Chain A
Amino acid sequence: MAEGVVKYINGPVIRADKMDKFKMREMVTVGPKRLIGEVISLDGQIGTIQIYEETTGLKVGDKVESTGMPLSVKLGPGIVGNIFDGIQRPLNYIFNKSGGYISEGIGLASIDLNKEWEVEIIIKNGDEVESGMFFGKVKETPLVNHYLMVPNGIRGKVIDLKPRGMYNMEETLLKIDDGKEIHEIKMYQEWPVRSPRPVNKRMPIEKPLVTGQRVVDTFFPIAKGGTAAIPGGFGTGKTMTQHQLAKWSDADIIVYIGCGERGNEMTEVLEDFPKLVDPKSNLPLMNRTILIANTSNMPVAAREASIYTGITIAEYFRDMGYHVAVMADSTSRWAEALREISGRLEEMPAEEGYPAYLPSRLAEFYERAGYVDTLSKKEGSVTIIGAVSPAGGDFSEPVTQNTKRFVSAFLGLDKKLAYARHYPAINWLSSYSGYLATLDGWYRENVDEDMMKLRGEMLKILQEESKLLEIVKLVGEDVLPDEQRLILEIAKVIKIGYLQQNAYHKEDTYVPLDKQNRMLKVINELYINSREAVKLGVPISKLRGSEVFKDVIKMKYSIPNEYKDEFKDLEEKINDYFISLKKAYEG
C-alpha cells in the first residue's frame, strides 16, 4: 500500500511527500489517529490533502495511507431515518464511540453492516440481469421499500441465488456470471460521491412537487426533477421553508442536508419528524427522511463533501423509482468551504475570494437533479432545493448570482416582509418559476382548468398594488379613486388571507392543492363582486369593513383542509351580501 509523509499542515489542508502512487480524489487516512482525508491535488511527489476532521495534534512526518478508493458512500438498507455526518458516518455511531462531543479519529463508518434485514428475492437463478435491475426487496421502514439493485457495470447470468430470509450486509446474496468473471452481490453497493449515477435517459419535467405551501404551489411551483433556490438574509425564513418542504412535499424520500448551519436545527428535525404524521400514509415523517449534518462548527472540509454525499444517496433512491427531494441548507456554506480550502491552497481567487470554478461546481451540483427513466425502466426524480445565504442579504453576490443561472425556480426571501412577520417572506414580485408552462397541463388535469389563470390574475393585482403603493407613499391613499383603492384592499386580502401561511398553525401549515384552488376562487369572487359594487358607487370603506371581507381573510383558518360545504356556504354568503348591497344602491 502506498504511503506518503506529511510535510506541511495548515488547518484542514496538508501537503505530503512521496505521494506519486496516489490518485487524484483518492480517500486517504492520515497520522496515528487515521484522520480521513481526500487527495485534492498531485504535483510530482507532492500531494495536497483536505482533511475531514480536526487536524489538532498532527505532525510533520506523520504517515498518509492509501485506501485505494475515491471518497464513496455505502448504499443499502439502513440509510432512511438515519442521520449522518458529511462523509456518511452515522452520528449515533459517533455518539456511541466518543460521547456528546465529536472527536477526531473515529475512523470510517457507514450504515450498520452487521444488522440483519429480511430480504425478499424477486428474481430466479438463471435469469439474465443488467445494471440497475432489482433483484430483491427489503422493507426498510414502514414507508419505504428498499429495492436491491444490480450494481453498475455488472451484467450476466444469476447463479447461487439465496432464498428469501434474514441476511446481514456482508453476506453474498447472489452471484452474477458475465462469462468472464463471477461477481458476488451483496445487499449494499458503493458509489463515489463526486460522480453522478447513470440513468437510462432524462425525461421531460411535467409534474409539480406539491408542497402544501400556497405561495409555492400556486404562485411559484417547483417541479419534480427540477431545481429551486431559496436565497435570503438571516432570519428571513430559509430554514423554515426548507423544513416545511421536507415535512409536507409529496416526495417519496427526503434528503435533508444541514450544511454549515445550526446544530439545534438538526436536533429539531430529529425531535419533531418522528412525531409528525405524513398526510398520505399517516405514518411518521421520519420514515422517509434522511439527514446529513455538517453543522457550522464541524470540520469545514466535510462540509464540502456533505453536499455530494446527500445527492448521491438521493440518486440511489431515485434509481429505485422514487421521487426524491434534496434540501440543502445552505449551499452558501458549501461555497464558502470551497473558498476556504481554495484560500489555503493559495489558488488565485476570482470574485470575492471564491475560486474561479465556483460556477462550474454549482452547475454540476444542480445538474444532478432531473426526472429520469432509470436503468430499471422506472420513473424517478431528484429535485434539488438549495438555500442561499447571501452576505449582507445582498443578492448581487457571487453565490446567489451564479445559482440563479442554474436553477429554474427562484424563491427570493425579503427582509422587509420578514420584519413585518409576513411569512413565508417570499417576495412575489422578484420570485419566479420557470415551470409554469410545463406544469400548466398537469394543473388543468389534476386540479382545475382555471387555477393557473386565476393565479395570473391574482399576481396582476399584486403587481398593480405595488405600483399604486408608490403613489400612496407620496400622496396618501385617500386621493386614489375607489377602483384603485379596491385593488389595494384585494391585494391585502391576497397577502394576509392567501400568501401568509403560518407554519405553526395546525391546519394552515399544510394546505392541499384543492383547497388552494377553492380559496383562489373565493378571492376572485370577492374581487369581481366588489368591483361591480364600486362601479355602483358603494364606498370602499363599507366594503373593507364588511363581514365578507373578514370571512375571506379568515377562511384559511376557519375552513378545514377536509372541508365539506364550507366553501359553498362562504360563496353563497358573498353572493347574498352583494345582491342585497347592489339592490340598495341600484334601487
Chain B
Amino acid sequence: MIKEYLELQKIEGPLIVLSGVENASYDEIVEIKCGEQIKHGKVVQIYEDKAVVQVFENTAGLSVKDISVKFTGKPLEISLSKEIMGRVFNGIGEPIDDGGDIYSKIKRDVNGRPINPVARKYPRDYIQTGISAIDFLTTLIRGQKLPVFSGNGLPHNNLAAQIVKQAKISSSQNSDFAIVFAAMGVKHDDAHYFLRIFEESGVLDRVVMFLNLADDPVVERIITPRCALTAAEYLAFEENMHILVVMTDMTSYCEALREISSAREEVPGRKGYPGYLYSDLASLYERAGMMEGASGSITQIPILTMPNDDITHPIPDLTGYITEGQIVLNRDIYQRNIYPPINILPSLSRLMKDGIGEGYTREDHPDIANQMFSCYSKVQEVIALAQVIGEDELSDIDKKYLEFGREFEYRFLNQGFDENRDIEETLNLAWEVLSILPQGELDRIAPEMLKKYYRG
C-alpha cells in the first residue's frame, strides 16, 4: 500500500493535513519528500479523506506545493540485533555514527505492546549501587523503574553516571548486561558527559545510545524513548540480558508532548499538559520489569527535572504515580555541599521490601531503614523548632536529634563520586549514626537487633 499523494492542505506547527487520502491507517508512518529532503511523520487522526500527520522533523521548509507523501502502511519500526550495542542512533532510531545500517530480519514496532500481567515476573533481586542512601533507604531492584526527581542545576547526571559505573546490574560476572541510553532534549555537554563516563567505565561497547539533543527536532523526542525501550525489550526478553535504561530528560519529553497536543487543539489538562499524559507516560514506564520465559530484565532510571523544584508539578506527580518509587534530589541539601543531595523522606523504593533483610542484605536492614526515616523526619521538626526558639533553648534530646541529623547528612548521605560502598559498610555506617541517639528513641527496631548492633 505505498501511494504517493501530492495534496497537502495545511501546515500547522508539527502537523500537516493531507487530503485526497485513501486507505490510510491510524498510527502508520508516512515519508514526506520535499526536494532532496525526506521527513517522517505518523498519522494521528483520520477524517474521511483527510489525514492529520505529525511530522517528526522540523516542518520549516515544507511547502504546500512540491512535496510527495508516501504511506508506508506500517507503524515505526526499528531493526534489531545484538549489533546495536556500541552504536549511536538519532531520536528516531537511525544510526548516526559511522557504523552503517543495522541489517536484521528482526524488526519491532517502537510503540511496543502492553506486557500481560500474567506474563510478568515480580522483581525481587537487589542491585548494589554502592551509594549508601540508595542501597540502604531506596534499594534498587533488578527490573524496577526508579526515577530521579531533580531540579535544574542539581547533580542528577552525576548520580545517574555513578549508578551506571557502580551498579552490579547482573549477578553473573557482569557479562550479560547492557545499558540503553535515551537522551531527550539534552545539551551536547550532557550527552558528552555520559559518553565519557561510559568510556571511562569501559562499557562503551555495551551501550546503545539514542540521542535527541536540545537542538534536534522537538517532535522526534516523542519517539526517542520508544526506540530505546524497544531496543531494551529486545535485548532483555529475546537475548536474555540485564538492561539498565537511563532516560533523560523526561521533562523535555513531556514538553514536546504538550507542544503537539496544543498544536492539535486538544483540551488541555493541568498546566497545559494533555489529559492523556498519564497514559502516555505509563506506555513508557511500564516497559520495565521481568517476564516469564526470559532471564533478562529491564531496569529503568528515568531522570526528570521538576519545574520550580515542585514535586506536585504534573510531570513528577504523574511519574510518581506510575513508577515504583522515586529518588528525590533537594536543593537545600545540595547547597550544604552534600553529594548526592538526596532527600530521603519523599524518596521511596516500592520494591525493596522483597530484596532486603535476612538472606539478601542483612537481617537488620528493614528495621533500621525504617528507624532512619522516622528519626530523620523528627530532625526536620526539631530544626523548625530551633528556628523559632534558638538552638540553645532546645531540650537535650532535641539537641541529640540535631547532631544525629548533621552526622547523617555529612557522613552517611555524603559520599564521593568515586566512592563505592558495599552494603555491609553502609549498614555499619547507619548504625554508627543512629547510635548518636539514645536507645530509648529507637522504637522501630527489634530488641534483639538493638542488642546486637547498637553502639551507644
Binding site for B on A (CB under 8 A): 7-11, 54-61, 83, 91-92, 94-95, 98-103, 233-235, 258, 260, 262-264, 266-268, 270-271, 293, 295-298, 300, 333, 336, 339-340, 343, 346, 349, 352-353, 389, 391-394, 415-416, 419-422, 472-478, 496, 504, 544-545, 550, 553-554, 557
Contacts and interface: CB of A to CB of B under 8 A. Distances in A.
A103 B113 contact: yes
A145 B428 CA distance: 54
Ranked nearest first, the 8 interchain pairs of A and B with the lowest CB-CB distance are: A296-B282, A392-B312, A420-B377, A101-B113, A100-B119, A234-B320, A297-B286, A266-B117
Contacts of B373: 419-421
Interface string B363-386: 000100010011001100100110
Contact of A391 (B266, B317, B348, B443): B317
Given A59-B46, A496-B444, 13 more contacts: A95-B119, A100-B291, A101-B115, A234-B320, A263-B120, A296-B279, A297-B287, A343-B266, A353-B268, A391-B314, A420-B345, A473-B381, A473-B385
Contacts, number: 210
Interface in B225-283: 237, 266-270, 275-276, 278-279, 282-283
Contacts of B2: none
15 contacts: A9-B47, A59-B23, A61-B23, A100-B237, A100-B291, A101-B119, A102-B114, A234-B317, A234-B321, A262-B286, A297-B115, A392-B317, A421-B444, A475-B388, A477-B395
A516 B339 CA distance: 45
Contact of B118 (A92, A234, A268): A92
B112 interface: yes
Given A55-B26, A352-B269, A391-B314, A268 B283 contact: no
Given A56-B75, A557-B446, A8 B46 contact: yes
A8 B21 CA distance: 13
Interface of chain B: mostly helix, strand, loop or mixed: mixed
Contact of B286 (A296, A422, A504): A296
A496 B394 CA distance: 24
Interface centre among A83, A233, A258, A476 (most CB of B within 10 A): A476
B276 A300 contact: yes
Contact of B117 (A59, A270, A340, A422): A270
A264 B120 contact: yes
A83 B283 contact: no
A264 B289 contact: yes
Contacts of B370: 421
A392 B291 CA distance: 32
B28 A57 contact: yes
Interface in B298-342: 312-314, 317, 320-322, 324-326
Nearest to B274: A343
Contacts of A262: 286, 322, 324
Of A10, A263, A389, A394, the most chain B CB neighbours within 10 A belong to: A263
A550 B325 CA distance: 33
A473 B345 contact: no
Contacts of A393: 312, 317
A474 B386 CA distance: 9
A504 B46 CA distance: 51
Most B C-beta atoms less than 10 A away, residue of A8, A56, A391: A56
Given A10-B45, A263-B117, A266-B117, A297 B283 contact: yes
A56 B111 contact: yes
Contacts of B348: 235
A550 B240 CA distance: 51
Contacts of A553: 443
Give the interface centre of B44, B49, B443, B444 by most chain A CB atoms within 10 Å: B443
B122 interface: yes
B116 interface: yes
B24 interface: yes
Interface string B123-147: 1000000000000000000000000
A475 B389 contact: yes
Residue among A55, A340, A393 with the most chain B CB within 10 A? A340
B118 A474 contact: no
B121 interface: yes
B348 to A, nearest CB: 5
Interface string B283-298: 1001101011100000
A277 to B, nearest CB: 19
Taking residues whose C-beta sits less than 8 angstroms from the other chain, chain B's interface range is 35 or more
A83 B117 contact: yes
Nearest to B370: A421
Given A7-B47, A352-B270, A353-B267, A298 B321 contact: no
Contacts of B419: none
B153 interface: no
Contacts of B279: 260, 296-297, 300, 336, 340
B362 interface: no
A293 B26 CA distance: 26
Nearest to B74: A57
B292 A100 contact: yes
Contacts of A349: 267
Contacts of B26: 9, 55-59
B25 interface: yes
B46 A340 contact: no
Given A56-B27, A262-B286, A235 B317 contact: no
B99 interface: no
Contacts of A59: 23-26, 46
A583 B394 CA distance: 33
The residue in A9, A103, A297, A389 that gathers the most chain B C-beta atoms within 10 A of its C-beta is A297
B416 interface: no
B444 to A, nearest CB: 8
Contacts of B444: 421, 496
Contacts of A544: 440
A270 B373 CA distance: 30
Given A60-B48, A234-B317, A504-B353, A100 B23 contact: no
Contacts of A91: 116-118
Contacts of B20: none
B353 to A, nearest CB: 6
Nearest to A303: B279
A263 B115 contact: yes
A92 B322 CA distance: 24
Nearest to B52: A10
B456 interface: no
